[in-house]
Structure 1
């Protein structure tokens, strides 16, 4: 199946033929559906904090976070081009009419509301025009070209993190700048340092570095903190092979195998390289202006406090379980597992003797921990919180994507429809064990939770494979705590006109 040329290419990719053969088997066999047992709901899998609990966890975070190494991990490799899909279509349409294109019309009608308005106007003026002149002559395509193409602002080829999102009296800010501000609010840790880590595309890293070099001194002076900024790129070793419709390697005209990036699950490798006590994960485009940051700050600190509290309780019983366990310690450990982590023990566990119970609990407790914010489902795409039955009969909390579920099964469909919340990529993670040693996160993922999608290249159909998603299959064997957070903390920008929503003005 693999030629010598292919094997050489695989080696240059930093991969092994065995890995490729496993990926091909996944195409042939498919991935099993996630066996959801029930939807996680408020009071049954999703914590809902009352005012007293919120204050307690905020106090916990305030007391203990300053002595921790905290990272803010921001997936930022997404190109902005998808935001402008409709504007590109308008440019390509020779008979385009604004009245027949409500999305482009909304964009044109509200130009002055965008944070990049002045930059766009200056770009047009440099070419002898202006927004005012272009509007007067109905030359809407000129405006759009100056926004998207390199003759103007070049937004169509920039990463989303470097577009101007929000306008302030002192100037407009990009998402990168908003993450600096957020980091100062809840990411301040050991050494009076805010540690930001951006995962970026190779072609964009230099632009990110230039932007950060420009803003970092002022941000440090403003907040009287140190900012430590690092970058990583999705590793080539995490790419997956593409195959044709017969599950044979898809080859290019030069005979080489086509490899494709394997989705956000590939970032597990990047996360695994982070050496920290706490890691907050949040997408690059989920930011708001300062006037709305209060809720984000409050609930980021709250889920951080929940994690620190859980970590302390888990570490305490794990240290005690190093010695012989008595009945009191087993009861205490069960309480941490079922009440603090919210998991459920299988029926057979209760037939174990003390030593067997201790071994079982130690194995279940000594894992990475994550606290995930959950917002009420308003129809946005995202992973839902579910109870999943594990092979040993226990129930664990998992985030399940729609593509992982067998919605042709009426029972599974019913569980899916009863789900009331979803995760908007709002997590804080504990990635060290009770002895202070980093977990190897690759050992806690479920490789059988990937996705297969149909694509095409050069007019030929192909199948692509994504690795287990970062917050579902890649964290399958973590201990998970789900917490309800306000919807105002979730404000992604998927299209250019999302910036016209009140939360971004």
Structure 2
């Protein structure tokens, strides 16, 4: 199947022929659908906390921070912003010159409201000899868009989303990257230090470093915080082979094998290298201006408080289990904690012998923990919180994407459509065990939860393999707690016009 040239190429990427053959088998055979017990809901897998509980857990987090723990904010930021401008790229290549669609009209009608307006104006003057308003007045709409998207202008069509100007302030506009720095200062700062880690693409690494170098002096002075900013790139060894429709390896025009990024699930390797007691994970584009950050900050502290409070109890139980088999009464208490707090249930667990139950509890306690904020479903595309069956027969909380649902199973489709909550990628994680050792996170990945999608290259159709998603299958065997958070904490920017929403103004 593979030539000597192929074998060299595979080795250079840090992979093995056996692993690549296995990927081709996965592409051919696909992945099994998950067995679902129910969509998670308040009272059945999702915690909804009252104001007194919120205050309690926020205070728990404040106490934890005061004890000099290492906190890291982990932000997947490698995506290019090209999809944000899909409609504007279409306008550039359209056979008409004036805004025609509702999207185009709305963009131009509100162009003065974008945080990048001043920078765009400067580029238009430089390249066209006229400002944005004059170009529009003279019907040169496409010149405005070209200066926004193309390399001669702001190059927003090729830049990463994290480096676009999102929000306007009196002291100048901010990028999402800078907004994440602010968030880190507000809820992830310990002993005057805030650690933040961005995963970026190789092509954008130097741009990120340059922007951070420009921003840090001002940010550190403004928030009286010392920032430690680090970066990593998705490892080539996590790229997956592409296949032709007949499941044979897809080849580039020069005959080499085509490898594609394995999706955000590949970042479990990057996360595995983070040495921290607590790690926050949040997407790059889900940020808001300072004027409405309070709600986001409060609920970040809340889910972090739930995490450290849960971890404290888990560690206490693990030390008791390590000392010997506890009393039946104590084992029953631990089992209730696993079933009620961690929402992990096993049929017949109460009938196990003391030794068997102690061993089961050890396994369920001694693993990474994550607390996931979930918001009420408002029809956004993406995954949701479910209670699913695992390979060991237990049922536990999982975040599922639509592609993991068997569309031939009417009951599962109904569960997915009628699910009350949505996953906004709002996670806080504990990745060390009760002895302070880091878990090896790849060991907790469900490798049977990848995705196969249809793509194309140079007009040729191909099959692409995505690894188990970072917050889906990559964290499948973690202890998971879902906590309801307000919809106001979820403000993603999927298209450029989303920046015109009130929350981003």
- TM-score (ref. length: structure 1): 0.98
Deviations along 1:133-157, one digit per CA (max 9) or x if unpaired, are 2121111011111111122212112
Distance 1:367 1:481 in 2: 13
Could you tell me which residue of structure 1 aligns to residue 78 of structure 2? 77
Distance 1:82 1:110 in 2: 20
The CA distance in 2 between the partners of 1:263 and 1:59, in whole Å, is 36
Secondary structure in 1 aligned to 2:322?
A: coil
Alignment-derived partner of residue 415 in structure 1:
415
Local SS of the residue matching 1:297 = helix
Partner in structure 2 of residue 134 of structure 1? 135
- Report the 3-state secondary structure (helix = DSSP H, G, I; strand = E; otherwise coil) of the residue aligned with 1:165: coil
Secondary structure of residue in 1 paired with 2:157: helix
Deviation at 1:45, TM superposition (A): 0.2
* Cα separation, partners in 2 of 1:212 and 1:95, compared to 1, 3 Å: same
**Equivalent position of 1:272 in the other structure:** 272
1:30-45 matches, cutoff 5 A: 30-45=30-45
| Counterpart Cα distance in 2 of 1:196 and 1:134 | 41
Aligned-pair distance for 1:393?
2.6
2:192 matched residue in structure 1 = 192
What residue number does 1:355 align with? 355
In the alignment, does 2:486 pair up with 1:486? yes
Structure 2 CA distance for aligned equivalents of residues 149 and 410 of structure 1: 46
CA distance in 2, matches of 1:94, 1:347: 63
Structure 1 residue ranges (4+ consecutive) displaced by more than 4 angstroms after TM superposition:
none
Q: Secondary structure at the match of 1:203?
A: helix
CA contact (8 A) 1:313 1:336 kept: no
Task: Kindly report the root-mean-square deviation, in angstroms, between the aligned alpha carbons of the 2 structures.
Answer: 1.1
Task: Report the 3-state secondary structure (helix = DSSP H, G, I; strand = E; otherwise coil) of the residue aligned with 1:342.
Answer: coil
Aligned equivalents of 1:166, 1:424: Cα separation in 2: 20
Distance 2:198 2:162 in 1: 10
2:8 aligned counterpart, secondary structure: helix
Q: Which residue does 1:204 correspond to in 2?
A: 204
Whether the aligned pair in 2 keeps the contact of 1:317 and 1:329 (CA below 8 Å) is no
Contact 2:61 2:304 (8 Å CA) reproduced: yes
Q: Deviations over 1:287-331 (max 9, x none)?
A: 001111011000000000000000000000001101222223212
CA positional deviation for 1:389? 1.6
The Cα shift of 1:366 comes to 0.5
| Separation in structure 2 between the aligned mates of residue 143 and residue 392 of structure 1, nearest angstrom | 58
Write the distance in 2 (CA, Å) between the matches of 1:34 and 1:198.
Answer: 31
Residues 1:330 and 2:331 are matched in the alignment:
yes
Question: Aligned-pair distance for 1:338?
Answer: 2.0
Which segments of 5 or more consecutive residues in structure 2 lack a partner in the other structure? none
Matches within 5 A, 1:203-352: 203-324=203-324, 325-344=326-345, 346-352=346-352
2: CA distance between counterparts of 1:112 and 1:347?
A: 60
In 1: Cα distance, 2:408 partner to 2:238 partner: 31
Q: Is the 8 A contact 2:34 2:389 kept in 1?
A: no
| Matching residue of 2:17 | 17
Deviations 1:367-417 (A, max 9, x none): 100000000111111211111122333211100100001022112122222
Rounded to whole Å, the distance in 2 between the matches of 1:61 and 1:120 is 42
> What's 2:155 paired with?
154
Q: Provide, for residues 134-183 of structure 1, a one-character-per-residue CA deviation record: whole Å limited to 9, x for no partner.
A: 12111101111111112221211211111111111111111111111111
Equivalent residue of 1:172, what SS?
A: coil
Taking the aligned partners of 1:145 and 1:415, their CA distance within structure 2 comes to: 44
Residues 375 and 423 in structure 2, CA contact (< 8 A), matched pair in contact too: yes
Kept after mapping to 1: 8 A contact 2:188/2:194:
yes
Q: What CA distance in whole angstroms lies between the structure 1 residues aligned with 2:395 and 2:60?
A: 29
* Farther-moved stretch of structure 1 (121-130 vs 110-119): 121-130
Aligned twin of 1:178: 179
Correspondences of 1:361-376 after superposition (within 5 Å): 361-376=361-376
* Structure 1 residues 504 and 29: CA distance shift in structure 2, 3 A: same
CA distance in 2, matches of 1:342, 1:101: 48
Q: Secondary structure at the match of 1:168?
A: coil
Cα drift, residue 68 of structure 1: 1.3
Cα deviation for residue 212 of structure 1 reads: 0.5
Structure 1: runs of 5 or more not aligned: none
Structure 1: how far apart are the matches of 2:351 and 2:332? 14
SS at the partner of 1:171? Answer: coil
| Distance (Å, rounded) in 2 between the aligned partners of 1:386 and 1:96 | 47
Equivalent position of 1:113 in the other structure = 113
Contact residue 194 and residue 225 of structure 1 kept, 8 A: yes
